[in-house]
Structure 1
Amino acid sequence: MVRPSGTVRGRIMTTLQIITGILGSGKTTCLRHLLEGPGETQAGVVVGEYAEDGFDGGMIEASGAMVRQITATGRADMAKSYLDPTRAFVEEGIFPRVYIETSGVTEIAQVSAELANDPVIAKHARFAPTIVVIDAGAFTVHDTHFAPQLWAQLDVADVVVINKTDKAPTESLDAIKRRIQERNDEARIVYTYMGQVSRGVALSIPYEGFTPRAIRASWDGSLPAEFEAFVYRTSRVCYDRLMFGHKMLNLPGGQIARFKGILRCWDGARSINGLPGQLDWDNTPVAGDTRIAFIGIGLLAREKGICDLLDAELERQRDEMRSGS
């Protein structure tokens, strides 16, 4: 049991906080905002990536945090556990706060239950509110194509960050808030433009003896439909970022929840992030050849078609550059 002073036998308690959100919601941006705040002490971060390549760990390390990253996290019986890296932070006792940024397809109630039932964590840690970040501009797409995954997170949120508010009109924001409140009337709901959530709302434990909703949810073992992922890789160079972006925005068919990664352009590598119909070019410094992770439902059957389409576009650009046209 956590003592009111926040210590157990003289040891400072570690505060654990889960940050999640469906793919592309901006949870890493939100986490970086919390890490880089004035007066913030150094923190530990466990980062989960569903794809086999991890892109977020380096961005978080740039904020001064110590990162332990899990890639190809999987789900159900194949899921990689967040327990070991989280417990390691707690046992070391170096950081007063440890964030767990899960992959966007993680069952949060499952992760929360596993952490809460660990005896080391139960003795030396306490839980801050679970933060769920959503993309206001992509809410309708996610609610239409990935509703079980979206609501499995929102139903157990303590704080909901409606992010990227510039991508949705005010009336849509109000409608999103009402939808969430109908399902989860306990959650505190805040609006942000680029993840700048209030630290008072996000970081504080609301009352003595607080238990996150995700732990109280008592996960029953059910899981939404399985996501699939693949990584597009090439050493080809992009000479026309606008046209490549157009191809990404208009990928045919299927249910793509997110793509993110690195696009190697003639003037340097660029960070790319989005979903069909929405594309963001991140200013985060990146390097290396092109590698873009695609995550969604039914994607493995479409992997070759998507890769062939992108290869053809980069080859067209190369041939056009060589011909001088």
Structure 2
Amino acid sequence: MSGRPSSSDPQATPLFILTGFLGSGKTTLLARWLRAPAFADTAVIVNEFGEVGLDHLLVTEGEEDDVVLLDSGCLCCTLNSSLAETLTDLFHRRARGEIPGFSRVVVETTGIADPAPLMHTLMTDRLLAARYHLAGVIACVDGLFFLDQKDGFEEVRKQVALADRLIVTKADAVPAERIAQIQGFLKEMNPGAGVLVSSAGDLDPVDALDQIEPSSALAWQASHEGLHHVHSGHEESDFETLFVPVEQAVDWPGYAALVEAFQSRYGADLLRVKGLLKFAGEAQPMVIQGVQHVFALPEATKHASSGARLGLVLIGRGLVKKKIEKLIDKCLGGGKPDAAE
């Protein structure tokens, strides 16, 4: 017995958040995915049916008019209430056999939406966490306009910073040199997120989704080997990315103290925390995930190699590497950080 808190059920359905700024090609991509055979066992939550052009795809309607079964075998429903209520309704209707089974869920956000509140819901609602597992955040990046948008819209930069995977859209409409330039900016803003390129929504959903989970935290960790400090390139937002190695075994009180310190000192300015920590009494490293002031319960992973480096990746504003290192050492060492740290 390790005494650690219980985490989400390993049988929980993986859930992906699909985000992207207005006109980024997110809806075009999703509409193509809804027709793909590989998407047959997926439940997709959209804002409005009309946006993804479902009229000719409709085969049957459920008992309520907010869930439809497409000829591809994919379920599609609208977000008519809160995300928690919609997901709970899907869970119970599947259990009662009112709708076909599904093995994954994709939630589409609006173009100007901040993905963080949705992530908070999935990380803090214990009943939802037992039924659905946040498997990844996918952000569509406009190949035509991103280079102009990144400096003018906070939403664009935040969507990129929170993503586990980035999809550069409209590659067929811009020169290859521009796509390469965008990829360079994305790697600087979020080095841990994999970057894919799409032309007219032609990206296979399996490539976009299934390769994220369960290795996204490990990919972040691997991509930040040797990384110390990266700026987003935008002075106003000034997002920093840090990797801090944590080689020692961690106990649960020390980890709780660290989370509390992150929350009280950085709050909403700490956009994302990911990484691997070795907890005393645990056979495998634990995956760490935090979004602003909300942290999920650490989860064990069986996918870390024996040589995987332990540590935390942080993306946010006002992050100073030496202060972060001192804060981590003090909390995990059982001490109480000073107010100025």
Q: What TM bracket, shorter-length normalisation? A: 0.5 to 0.7
2:181 counterpart SS class: helix
Match of 1:83 in 2: 84
Query: Are 2:136 and 1:129 aligned?
Result: yes
Q: C-alpha distance in 2, partners of 1:194/1:19? A: 17
Change (3 A) 1:217 1:136: farther
Equivalence map 1:221-300=2 (5 Å)? none
2:45 counterpart SS class: strand
1:128 counterpart SS class: strand
Match of 1:26 in 2: 25
Equivalence map 1:158-237=2 (5 Å)? 158-204=164-210, 206=212, 208=214, 216-220=289-293
Structure 1-normalised TM-score?
A: 0.54
Q: C-alpha distance in 1, partners of 2:76/2:106? A: 10
Extract unaligned runs of 5+ from structure 2.
Answer: 1-6, 59-69, 95-100, 221-271, 275-288, 295-341
Change (3 A) 1:14 1:139: same
Change (3 A) 1:178 1:82: same
Match of 2:76 in 1: 67
Show CA shifts across 1:133-188 (max 9, x none): 11101213322432x11011000111111000122211111111111111111111
Aligned residues: 201
Given residue 83 of structure 1, which amino acid in structure 2 is its aligned partner?
A
Q: C-alpha distance in 1, partners of 2:56/2:32? A: 13
Identity %: 25
Change (3 A) 1:45 1:110: same
Given residue 114 of structure 1, which amino acid in structure 2 is its aligned partner?
T
Q: C-alpha distance in 2, partners of 1:175/1:60? A: 38
Change (3 A) 1:163 1:57: closer
Q: C-alpha distance in 2, partners of 1:208/1:163? A: 24
1:186 counterpart SS class: coil
Please provide the CA RMSD for this pair.
3.0
Change (3 A) 1:162 1:18: same
Q: C-alpha distance in 2, partners of 1:220/1:126? A: 19
Given residue 168 of structure 2, which amino acid in structure 1 is its aligned partner?
I
1:220, distance to aligned residue in structure 2 (A): 4.8
Given residue 149 of structure 2, which amino acid in structure 1 is its aligned partner?
H
Q: C-alpha distance in 1, partners of 2:148/2:50? A: 24
Q: C-alpha distance in 2, partners of 1:209/1:189? A: 15
Extract unaligned runs of 5+ from structure 1.
Answer: 8-12, 72-79, 222-325
Q: C-alpha distance in 2, partners of 1:56/1:134? A: 18
Equivalent pair of 2:172/2:200 in contact (CA under 8 Å): no
Change (3 A) 1:41 1:31: same
Match of 1:104 in 2: 111
Query: Are 2:25 and 1:17 aligned?
Result: no
Runs of 4+ in 1 over 6 A off after TM superposition: none
1:60, distance to aligned residue in structure 2 (A): 8.5
Change (3 A) 1:103 1:158: same
